[in-house]
Structure formats: structure tokens, C-alpha cells
Amino acid sequence: MSRGDRRVCLLTGAGGTLGDAFCRGLYTQYDIVAVHRNRIPAAPSQHEWFIDPFEPETPVPENASRIFMIRADLTEAGAVERVVELALARFGRVDLLVNNAGHSRWQPRGIVDGDAALDEFEPHFAVNVGVPLRLSARLAQRGWLHTADENREHNRNIVNVSSIAGSRVYPGGQAVYAASKAALDQLTRHLAVEFAEFGVRANAIAPNSFPALVPTEQVVRAIVELDQGKMTGEVFSVGVDAEDMAGGQHALGAHAH
């Protein structure tokens, strides 16, 4: 169980670029259920214990980590439910759900070049839309739905990691990927409306390409800002100039608006 002095975060895609940065940067601030598939985050976990050989009695910061790692392919039947059960069994609650796991395969020759785009439709929507939907629904059914006052007290919320491609058209064969992120944006808005009844917020961040155009650490800060704020039902661009925004999105800077 969580000792109560940290917020409990359920993070998917923990082994990817953003997930890894989240774990490395925040392992002393959050209790993290780190869901990964192929790679594990390069952060100390609760299963490890570190000793300074020159000062063995001195506390080592890495031992403050309470990262609980779960290996799972969230598209497999029953995997989401297993992760939710393990998270609740380990920490007793979830205060922040970060749907970060994503699927991205581009078709640079376009959607009519053979069956590549057609074959990628289901994987994109299964990971980028289906997994966030299922995790949100199962967490609500297993606890949030019946704890409205507690949810508001703990400022519980969902952050979906979308993409700026969800609201813009870029060349290079991103049609299927972009469509799935646009669907995730709209799912976020509906989650916010439906979950408001029991006090759980939902927002999305839509980063520009990271780490190429936006530092990954900036994206991590955006997630933390949303977790600490009160906003709901919005899609926040990250790493996009305010005057260059479109589609009613809002820019998220170093501080919550």
C-alpha cells in the first residue's frame, strides 16, 4: 500500500522515451506503477537496493524509489484488467493515470500503396485509443465511480499523451497515426464530461516531436502541471508557439494556466 505521502501514478509505455524520462525524473516524488512491454525504464525500482561501497551506512537516494514494474502487452485480452488489479493491490489507489503507450507506423507512400495503411488501422486504434479507453473504464469501475469525495480531495485525473499530429496534417504518411490521435483527443473530452460526475478530471497533451523539436523533460513537466492543476476536458499543445496553434488547442508551458 502507498504510505500516503506520494501520489500514485499508473503509467503505460514506461520503457519508451517519455515513460523512461518520467520514471527517472519522478521516482522520488510519485509511487509509480510502470507498465512496460519490451524495455524497462532505466530508473531504480522497488525491487532493487543500492549501497555506496565507500559509505555503506549512508542513505542512497535511489532507495527512495517506489516504482512497481509490470510487464504487459495491453492489447492482449485481460491485460488491462490484470494491470489495474495489480496496481490497486500494490498501492491501494490510483491518483493519476498517464496513458503514454503508443503505436506509430507511418506509410510514406500513402494510404493507397498496397495494404500497409489498412493493415495498420487496427493496431493504431487498439493501442492509441482502445487501451486508454479500457484503462479509464476499468479504473472507474474498480474504484473511482464510488469515491467521488475522495477523488476530488486527491485531485485524481487522467492525462492522455496525444500528438500535435491529431490536429494537423503532416506529409510522410501519418494519416492512420494522426487519425488515432484525433480520436484520442475526442475521447479525452468525453471522459472529462462523463467522469466529472464522480470528480475525476481528464486532459490530453499534444506534444510536438520529441526529443527532436521539444525536450522530453518539457513534456514530462506538462504532465506534472496537469496533475497539479484543476483543468479538465482540454487538449494542450506542448512545444508549439501560441500564435501557431489551431483547432482550439491550448499551449502548456512551464506553468499551469
- The number of residues making up the chain comes to 257
Residues 139 and 69: their CA atoms lie apart, in Å, by 18
**Backbone Cα Rg of the chain:** 18
Q: Which residues of 47-73 are buried (b: 16+ CB within 10 A; e: fewer)?
A: eeeeeeeeeeeeeeeeeebbbbbbebe
Question: How many other C-beta atoms lie within 10 A of the C-beta of residue 164?
Answer: 25
Strand 96-99 vs strand 7-12: parallel, antiparallel, or unpaired?
parallel
Are 147 and 132 spatial neighbours (Cβ–Cβ below 8 Å)? no
Extended strands (E) in the chain: 7-12, 30-36, 67-71, 96-99, 157-161, 201-207, 235-238, 250-251
E strand or H helix that includes residue 150: helix 148-153
Catalytic positions are: 177
